[in-house]
Structure 1
Amino acid sequence: MKNVNLLILDDKEENIISLAALLSEIPHINIISSTDPNEALKICWKNDIAIALVDVQMPEINGFEFVSLLKSNPRTNHITAIMVTAISKEDKYLLKGLESGAVDYLYKPLNPEITVAKVTSFVKQIHIQEEIKQKNIALEESRRALIMAKEEAEEARKSKESFLANMSHEIRTPINGIVGIIHMLRNSELNNEQRDWINRLDSASSSLLLIINDILDISKIDSGMMKIENENFSIRKKLIDINNIFTLRARDKNLIFEMDIDPALPEYINSDPLRIQQIINNFISNSLKFTETGKITLKIKVVTHVDDQYTIRFTVIDTGIGIKDEAIEKIFLAFEQGDDGITKKFGGTGLGLAIVKRLADLLNGKVEARSVYGKGSEFSFEATFQRVEDFPNEEKIDKTVFSKLERFHNVRILVAEDNDLNSFMLAHMLESWGCRVDIAKNGRQAVENVSQQDYDLIMMDTHMPVMSGFEAIKEIKKNASAQKAYIPIITISASVLEHEQARAYEVGADSVIGKPFDPLDLHQKITQLLSKKNLTWL
């Protein structure tokens, strides 16, 4: 504990000696003395004096005046002043001392016990005040550190979001071209070998897109941007769809895939069908990756149900390579796999199960893993769902290949896209629907084209050199011609970030489509926008 500097001011040396001797038994004090008030003021200015015992009756400057001088100076006004006096105890003298700034009185002849007790009490107060001061300083430093950490975290979040947006755009853009070419080739005459090549290319591009989506999903969840969208749906139909997908994939590896559904499973529940399927798909995909022989079983069991609340467990059991006991705990961590050798042999980002764990948390559920190394693994997801009776009619999805879709009549479309492969693919697709297509390589060219030609619709990439799609849309909306200013615009964005898609609508876009896109979805969007202009079909 830090010593407290205590000043004794008395014009008689013998009084200083006796008072100092009396106070010497008090711990944590350092006694400084003076018989001269002017010298004492200098001592107070130069030293960190905390307490001053001041004699009232002194020549030249009395105790009241000395304390008033202390309190009038910013460098000394913090000093705790105690009057030491032999004069009358009348109230007027007491008030005079308090008015000058003193906090207490000691009366001569001094009572040793009272004197020591009072000074000890003030020393403790000084120590408490110092402790509070230090804690306030520490709190202020912590507050500044927290503010700095928050600012750094926000900056890191923005950098991460910017990186993900750029990565998404840079990777999705060429994938969009690849997927588009795949669609085009599938609409051409192919022999069986060529069709097999196309299927393998499609599978490779889908795998790459899945990795990108996994990275974006984990980022969304970690930043709190992932939203659960509940709706009424048929859980049984969802399971049948999953069964159809993975039966074929298992057959390709000479594996058996089977499904065991509890008869008590309700037909319809309320939850997020996309996220439930994502969890189950991840489990089964993992099992397919790490199983060479045997079978994979998807087991669905109703654990309990009370009224319309059903607790359901989805379990995937495989006969794969299994997981070592020490690796079980870390498999649900991002970028982790059970064994470094697994990454080398089987590949993968280690994100699938991390996403599953976070999705399960968002659905107020839990995931578990059990395994016997060398014999197989068992992954389960359990959550409580509400059983529902009503279910909206499902819309049938049109599976028509894009070249067979209905053609447009007398439609001219401007495609603003800086990627040659994407513009080639998109132009070919639009032309197969009977559209006349012009290409602009950047936003500035797009604005110039609009000023010189008449278009029925514009497809605008959001990220382009010279002038971005967002800036180009703003310029087009300022066109003096109302007809040109209100041309329907579909933005083509490789970003899946919500704020970027929202920005497209803010600047005036009529619709947004992501990369890679489904030709059927694009055809429907064009149809909807052109119908507003009362265009007729061929």
Structure 2
Amino acid sequence: MEKINILIVDDRPENIIALEALLQRPDIDLITTTNPNEALRISWEMDIAIALVDVQMPEMDGFELVEILKSNPRTKDILIIFVTAISKETKYAVKGLNTGAVDYLYKPLDPFVTSAKVDSFIQFVRNQRDLKSKNTQLEAYQKELIKAKELAEQGKRIKENFLANMSHEIRTPINGIIGIAHLLEKTGLSAEQKEMVSLLEISSNSLLGVINDILDLSKIEAGKFKINRTETDLSSLCYSVINLLRIRAKEKKLALKTDLDSNLPKHVLADSLRLNQILMNLIGNAIKFTTEGSVTLKVEILDTKGNNAHIRFSIIDTGIGIAKENIEKIFETFEQADEQTTVKFGGTGLGLSIVKNLAKLKGGVLEVSSEECKGSTFCFSNWYEVVKEENTPVAVETQKEKLTPFNNLKILVAEDNPINKFLIVKILNEWMIDTDVVENGKDAIEQIRINDYNLILMDTFMPVMNGLDAIKLIRDGYAPGKENIPIITFSAAVMENDKKTAINAGANDVISKPFDLEVLHQKIARYTTTD
């Protein structure tokens, strides 16, 4: 235990000896002096916690000494106890307390009172020092927390930048592959070549699916993933998922079955996109890990309350199954049941992690039961609001809008990737659009100064000057009179912040790579149509 320093100041040595005899104990150090000036020096040089000061002393009385101590930042916190033989009148006590004392001891000293008072102040000092120590620790912890928070935020920014760059670097070439495959389909191909183009599209879309899975996980972790509930036809959704995966099941000679509850409501309020994602992942996984037998999608109503139905989607397979000790592991990001599973079946280990997170976000429950070599059952259940049939609008079949040519349009394309450049120009030329092409933002703004365009298609990431910097210069009047020209950016970065950044820079719209031809046609028409 740390010792407490107590200073005794009295001009009479016998009084000091008497106090020392009363206060002597192992947990305190007593420092004494008969000289007030010496007391000041000791107080400044040593860590004095408590001072017992005689009131009446020659040269400098106790009141004057305490006033000096209390006026100095280094000694102002010393606890002062006045020791006096003068009158106990109130005016003297008030004067002492106003000077800064915390208590009085009156001569002749009562041993019990003196000991008790000093004990209480020693405990007070210990408590104060303990509190100060804890406050210092708390301040240190707070600094560490602030530093950890800053590091976490920095890590988050690095991660988001990495994902944005990864998205751009991978989605850009995929955009080229999918686009060229689409153009190839329109040329005269043999049956064998058509099959090869079809496989090319399937492979590209599969790779795109992996990237989207990673980005979805990132959005969920960042809390930026939104659930949008709309009127959904559950039966149609289930059958469409089964039809999409039927070819994969057929290739493995698996029976792909559906078992839908006859009382299943026609329409419910659900996030159809995310429900589709959950079913696609679970059924796709079941097909992947089943070598013979069947995969069944079973949908049943568990309960109803008022206008709400508790619906369970079960995916039952006769596949390899999962060992009990590995069941929790399969829901972790980039994890599979064991190393042999990865070697034999491949995959990223992202599907079930996304399903688990989506189920949680939707307020549903995900359960799994499995037995090795016999199969697994994955169940997703949730409450859905049933849409009354009379409120269901009659679906009207609409033909896809034909992608008609444009008249007298001139568009500047700023794109550095040669494949995407070739692809975009070919598509625009098919739509009878006159195009100029540049490879960076600097050349783009120079072209705009020289020529007139109806629209600019600007890639976000380019060398020399990126698209966003070029847009800002255009909006700031680099090419006088052309500040309001419509600009659509192509971006392979699909994070929400990237889209906001493009709009904030002055872009009218953003098209994500790989882009849909109908979406591109629609946006060009929207920004070039004059009333």
- Identify the match of residue 428 of structure 2 among 409, 418, 430: 430
Q: Which residue of 2 aligns with 1:12?
A: 12
Residues 388-427 of structure 1: pairs in structure 2 closer than 5 A: 388-389=387-388, 390-392=391-393, 396=397, 405-427=403-425
* Superposition pairs of residues 475-490 of structure 1, within 5 angstroms: 475-477=473-475, 478=477, 482=481, 484-490=482-488
- 1:123 has 2:122 as partner: yes
Q: Secondary structure at the match of 2:200?
A: helix
Instruction: Name the amino acid aligned to 2:19.
Output: L
Question: Quick one: distance in 1 between partners of 2:308 and 2:485?
Answer: 50
Residue matched to 2:527: 529
CA contact (8 A) 1:9 1:54 kept: yes
Structure 1 position 377, deviation (Å)? 1.1
Deviation at 1:138, TM superposition (A): 1.6
**Per-residue deviation at 1:20?**
1.5
2:81 equivalent to 1:82: yes
Q: 1:344: which partner in 2?
A: 343
Contact conserved, 1:80 with 1:103, CA < 8 A, in 2?
yes
Letter in 1 for 2:527: L
Query: Is the 1:231–1:270 Cα contact (8 Å) retained in structure 2?
Result: yes
Distance, in Å, in 2 between the alignment partners of 1:475 and 1:413 is 18
Identity across aligned pairs (percent)? 51
Aligned partners of 1:528, 1:64: CA distance in 2, in Å?
88
Q: Deviations over 1:315-354 (max 9, x none)?
A: 1111111111111012111121111221222222211111
Task: Report if aligned partners of 1:247, 1:258 keep a CA contact under 8 Å in 2.
Answer: no
1:50-106 superposed Cα distances (whole Å, 9 cap, x missing partner): 001112222222222222221122211111010111121112222222232211111
Q: Given residue 176 of structure 2, which amino acid in structure 1 is its aligned partner? A: G
Measured in 1, the distance between the counterparts of 2:344 and 2:198 equals 24
Task: State the SS of the aligned residue for 2:319.
Answer: coil
Counterpart of 1:508 in structure 2 is: 506
Q: Which amino acid aligns with 2:357?
A: R
Within the alignment, does 1:244 sit opposite 2:243 as a pair?
Answer: yes
Q: Structure 2: which amino acid aligns with 1:126? A: V
Return 319-328 or 138-147, whichever deviates more. Answer: 138-147
Equivalents in 2 of 1:395, 1:473: separation in Å?
Answer: 41
Q: TM-score, normalised by structure 1?
A: 0.94
Q: Deviations over 1:249-299 (max 9, x none)?
A: 211221111111112221111121111111111111111211111111111
Give the 5 Å matches for 1:160-179.
160-179=159-178
Conserved? CA contact 2:314–2:377, under 8 Å: yes
- Note the 1:354-393 alignment, pairs <5 A: 354-389=353-388, 390-392=391-393
Does structure 1 retain, via aligned residues, the 8 Å contact 2:290–2:320? Answer: yes
Report the number of matched residues.
Answer: 528
Instruction: Evaluate the alpha carbon distance shift between residue 71 and residue 243 of structure 1 in structure 2; reply closer, same or farther with a 3 A threshold.
Output: same
Instruction: Give, in angstroms, the shift of residue 504 of structure 1.
Output: 2.5
Tell me the distance in 2 between the aligned counterparts of 1:311 and 1:18: 86
Distance between the aligned counterparts of 2:473 and 2:135, measured in 1?
55
Aligned counterpart, 2:455: 457
Decide which moves more: 68-77 or 218-227: 68-77
C-alpha deviation, 1:248, in angstroms: 2.4
Native 8 Å contact 2:445 2:479 kept in 1: no
**SS class of match (1:103):** strand
Quote the Cα distance in structure 1 between the aligned partners of 2:12 and 2:203. 99
State whether residues 63 and 83 of structure 1, in contact with CA within 8 Å, keep that contact through their aligned partners in structure 2.
yes
- Indicate which of 510, 516, 519 corresponds to 2:517: 519
Shifted more, 390-399 versus 467-476: the winner is 390-399
- Name the SS of the counterpart of 1:374 in structure 2: coil
In the alignment, what sits opposite 1:22? Answer: 22
Native 8 Å contact 1:459 1:491 kept in 2:
yes
> Counterpart of 2:266?
267
Q: Distance in 1 between matches of 2:107 and 2:28?
A: 22
**By how many angstroms is 1:156 displaced?**
1.3
SS in structure 2 of the partner of residue 113 of structure 1: helix
- Shift of the 73–489 alpha-carbon distance from structure 1 to 2, 3 Å rule, reads closer
Superposition map of 1:330-341 within 5 A = 330-341=329-340
Displacement, 1:396? 4.9
Q: Which amino acid aligns with 2:30?
A: I
- 8 Å Cα contact 2:449/2:479 also seen in 1: no
Matches within 5 A, 1:298-337: 298-337=297-336
Partner of 1:216: 215
Quick one: distance in 2 between partners of 1:433 and 1:77?
A: 86
Say what the alpha-carbon RMSD is for the aligned residues. 1.9
How far residue 392 of structure 1 moved from its aligned partner, in angstroms, is: 4.7
Amino acid aligned to 2:440: N
